């Protein structure tokens, strides 16, 4: 078929430079060899190049143009795409079997799915973080409890999904779970019914499925060694059905919510990377391993990212192949908190912008906590906020302030310092500043706070009186 298509293309009235053959199925080794042979012949005669595009490559190309992806596919994410891949591969095997089958009275065999086919591919510039993977791998290999759960928790953009991908790609894990690894992306707006999720698991394991009950799930997992991965979990209900006793099988899930990570037998907090690793990440993603990233721009980017892996990856991929002058433009955007301007997508990455990643966590809050979080826009960069100060900013009593601060920490929207004060990452602060309805008013508040910071740090309860006095002149 490929040769026939190539010969037909050679008869086109206009000269071709490139000819793409697109398929929704997997590309066979024979097809790859045929294309390679054609390209060798064409190279010598000055004819067009031939390329095979499979569904996986098409989806990766699509993610490079988020506007088009959003227009045609909306909120379609990893789980749905993986399901489409699996179904298309299944249809392809049916087609191949029908084409090569013997007479109709003989049974037709269907090629089983790859038991690891639902695991998303690693991005092209993937970096191995063995110091993070190893403890997780050891937990998965050595856990002996009847309900074996391992949780990866951390703020949005810290790299939980990438760590889970690295674990799933480790050869020791694949050997320990020979019956398969099934990856399901849950997400905030998860609308797939439980029965469909279990059906998805069954099909990925080449097993029959009729209806879901605890008994049928136990039967499905009986005598199997399977690793189930739930990525981006937001509610306990997404975990519960998979906590059933499942023999040699294990469950790994990622979440931003510390209260959910406590459901696991083992939990690992995926934190920010140190400056040395952050510099390596930035150089790797920007393609500057051989030639050092330009200064002072690289140092400023590292300072702004504060070890956040998603920030380093997005900014680095944006600057890949770009001249030094472009680094200056990106630094300018960072200084002005223009998170929406950094939009180069990353293959297999659920969030195409820092802004979108942080917005998802903030918008998941109830109305009142969200209003309080947005009020933190008044804080200065690298400023810790004791609860006494938060009482002044929010106008709430001590108990309500403590509960709200704890909620923000649990949701990875803030961290606590050594003195138990809460603190926001610079990118989180940039986000809520960008959401403020009156930037000029916020700028005045920052100016007033800066002039009063020496008093407020020692006496946070004086925040209101200090700010009122400073702002009176502008009323």
- Tens digit of each residue's pLDDT, the chain (475 residues): 666 676 677 777 677 777 888 776 656 555 665 666 676 666 656 677 777 776 656 665 665 565 666 666 655 554 455 555 555 555 554 444 444 444 444 444 445 677 888 887 776 666 777 778 888 888 888 755 544 567 777 777 777 888 888 889 889 999 989 988 998 888 765 567 788 888 888 888 888 877 778 888 888 888 888 899 998 888 888 888 887 665 688 888 888 887 776 676 677 877 778 888 888 888 888 888 888 889 998 898 888 887 877 778 778 877 888 888 888 888 887 776 656 555 444 444 444 456 766 776 788 788 999 999 999 999 887 788 899 999 988 999 999 999 999 888 877 788 887 778 888 887 788 888 888 888 888 888 888 888 888 888 888 888 877 777 666 554 4
Cα distance between residue 398 and residue 412, in whole Å: 21
Show contacts of 33-42: CB within 8 Å, 24+ apart: 34/2, 34/3, 35/2, 38/2, 38/3, 38/6
Closest CA to 297 of 273, 323, 317, 267: 323
Phi, psi of 443 (to 5 degrees): -60, -40
User: Is the separation of the CB atoms in 307 and 275 below 8 Å?
Assistant: yes
Read off the pTM: 0.58
Tokens of 277: 């690793």
Q: What is the pLDDT of residue 91?
A: 52
- For residue 411, the tally of other CB atoms under 10 A from its CB is 23
Count Cα atoms within 13 angstroms, Cβ side, for 150. Answer: 24
Q: State residue 470's pLDDT score.
A: 64
d(CA 229, CA 152): 11
Q: Do 56 and 23 touch, CB atoms closer than 8 A?
A: no
Kindly report the length of the chain.
Answer: 475
Neighbour count for residue 264 (Cβ, 10 Å): 22
Contact indicator for 122, 169 with CB cutoff of 8 Å: yes
In angstroms, the CA 85 to CA 118 distance is 8
Nearest by Cα to 321 from 300, 366, 362, 291: 291
d(CA 336, CA 441): 16
Q: What are phi and psi of 201, to 5 degrees?
A: -60, -45
Contact 436, 377 (CB under 8 A): yes
Distance CA 258, CA 154 (A): 8
Q: Where are the beta strands (DSSP E) in 104-165?
A: 149-153
Report DSSP state, residue 385.
B
Burial of 299 (0-12, 13-18, 19+ CB in 10 A): middle
């Amino acid at each position: 078929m490929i040769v026939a298509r190539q010969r037909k293309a050679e008869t086109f009235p206009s000269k071709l430079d490139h000819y793409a053959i697109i398929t929704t199925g997997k590309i066979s080794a024979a097809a790859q060899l045929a294309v390679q042979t054609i390209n060798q012949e064409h190279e010598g005669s000055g004819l067009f190049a031939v390329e095979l595009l499979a569904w996986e490559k098409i989806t990766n190309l699509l993610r490079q143009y988020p506007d088009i992806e959003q227009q045609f596919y909306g909120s379609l994410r990893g789980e749905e795409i993986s399901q489409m891949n699996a179904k298309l591969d299944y249809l392809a095997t049916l087609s191949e079997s029908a084409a090569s089958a013997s007479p109709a009275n003989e049974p037709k065999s269907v090629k089983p799915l790859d038991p690891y086919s639902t695991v998303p591919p690693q991005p092209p510039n993937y970096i191995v973080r063995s110091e993070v993977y190893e403890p997780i791998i050891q937990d998965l290999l050595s856990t002996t409890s009847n309900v074996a759960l391992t949780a990866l928790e951390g703020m949005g953009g810290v790299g939980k999904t990438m760590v889970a991908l690295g674990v799933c790609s480790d050869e020791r894990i694949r050997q320990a779970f020979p019956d398969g690894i099934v990856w399901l992306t849950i997400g905030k707006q998860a609308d797939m019914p439980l029965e469909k999720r279990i059906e998805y698991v069954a099909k990925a394991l080449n097993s029959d499925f009729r209806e879901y009950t605890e008994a049928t799930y136990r039967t499905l997992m009986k005598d199997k060694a399977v690793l189930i991965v739930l990525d981006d979990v937001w509610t306990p209900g997404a975990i519960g059905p998979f906590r059933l006793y499942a023999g040699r099988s294990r469950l790994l899930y990622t979440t931003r919510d510390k209260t959910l990570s406590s459901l696991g037998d083992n939990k690992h907090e995926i934190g920010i990377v140190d400056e040395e690793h952050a510099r390596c990440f930035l150089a790797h993603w920007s393609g500057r391993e051989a030639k050092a990233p330009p200064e002072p721009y690289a140092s400023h980017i590292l300072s702004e990212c504060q070890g956040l892996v998603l920030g380093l990856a997005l900014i680095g991929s944006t600057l890949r192949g770009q001249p030094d002058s472009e680094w200056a433009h990106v630094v300018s955007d960072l200084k002005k908190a223009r998170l929406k301007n950094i939009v180069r997508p990353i293959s297999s990455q659920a969030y195409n912008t820092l802004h979108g990643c942080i917005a998802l966590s903030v918008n998941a809050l109830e109305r009142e906590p969200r209003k309080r979080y947005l009020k933190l826009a008044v804080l200065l960069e690298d400023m810790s906020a004791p609860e006494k100060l938060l009482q002044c900013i929010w106008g709430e009593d001590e108990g309500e302030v403590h509960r709200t601060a704890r909620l923000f920490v649990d949701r990875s929207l803030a961290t606590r310092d050594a003195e138990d004060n809460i603190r926001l990452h610079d990118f989180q602060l940039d986000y809520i500043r960008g959401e403020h309805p009156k930037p000029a008013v916020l700028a005045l508040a920052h100016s007033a706070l800066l002039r009063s910071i020496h008093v407020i740090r020692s006496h946070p309860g004086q925040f209101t009186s200090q700010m009122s006095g400073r702002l009176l002149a502008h009323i």
